[in-house]
Amino acid sequence: MAETVRAFFAIAPGGEVRDALVRLAGGLAQRTRGRASRPESIHMTLAFVGEVDESQLDALKAIGAALPDEGFDVVLDATGGFSRPQVAWVAPSLIPAALSNLQRRLADELAAGGFRVEARAFAPHLTVARKCEQVPERQAITPIPWRVDAFALWGSALGSGGARYRELAVWRLRPVAAPDVDAEPSFG
């Protein structure tokens, strides 16, 4: 019987950005009576693939490897939440064109490769608290600038303590040449 992996492509903050998000997560979790996300699990999903056989991972890695792209800057400047599944998030008010392009190209390549692609519109966010009894309203925060220089294929396994994530492959993005001023609004 073939093993399966719950796969997705994502970008994950490191260093000072992750530290800032962890501090923010603690405050949001306390205010919403939720549970702060583990630092190593904070990420922005680009494309959720779902359950795949381990034998399909090479095809997913080939798709990721075929998407060399330039890095980009994201400014995380808003918090909010989703009532289902009772989470609090941090997101950019404006989606950089490079982020939209990377997500769109990834979705196109996944569809061409025969993988399921979510139909809903891309709403970039990082979940920072779960099981929130009070889902927070959208609110501006002190901006957290984030220079994105890689994206990854991740696998997750659900357990009693929630999902556990592991990177399956990572692709570096070229250094940012100039600020990305062509951006579109996030979350309408």
CATH number at residue 44: 3.90.1140.10
Task: Give CA–CA dist 110/153, Å, rounded.
Answer: 12
Examine residue 47 and state whether it is found in any structural domain, yes or no: yes
Examine residue 185 and state whether it is found in any structural domain, yes or no: no
Examine residue 176 and state whether it is found in any structural domain, yes or no: no
The packing angle between helices 97-112 and 57-65, to 10°, is 140
Residue 179 has pLDDT above 60, yes or no: no
* 113: its two tokens: 């490769």
Examine residue 179 and state whether it is found in any structural domain, yes or no: no
Residue 26 is part of which domain span? 4-171
Q: Which residue is it, tokens 């399966």? A: 4
Domain count, the chain: 1
Examine residue 56 and state whether it is found in any structural domain, yes or no: yes
pLDDT digits (tens, 9 = 90+) for 38-75: 999 999 999 999 999 999 999 999 999 998 678 999 99
**pTM for this structure?**
0.88
Examine residue 135 and state whether it is found in any structural domain, yes or no: yes
Q: In what order do the strands lie in the sheet with 4-11?
A: 44-53, 4-11, 150-159, 162-172
Taking the CA atoms of 46, 42, 11 and 102 in sequence, report the sign of the dihedral they define: positive
Examine residue 186 and state whether it is found in any structural domain, yes or no: no
Examine residue 188 and state whether it is found in any structural domain, yes or no: no
> For all residues of the chain together, what is the average pLDDT?
90
Mapped onto helix, strand or coil, the DSSP state of residue 113 is coil
Q: Which residue is it, tokens 């609004």? A: 185
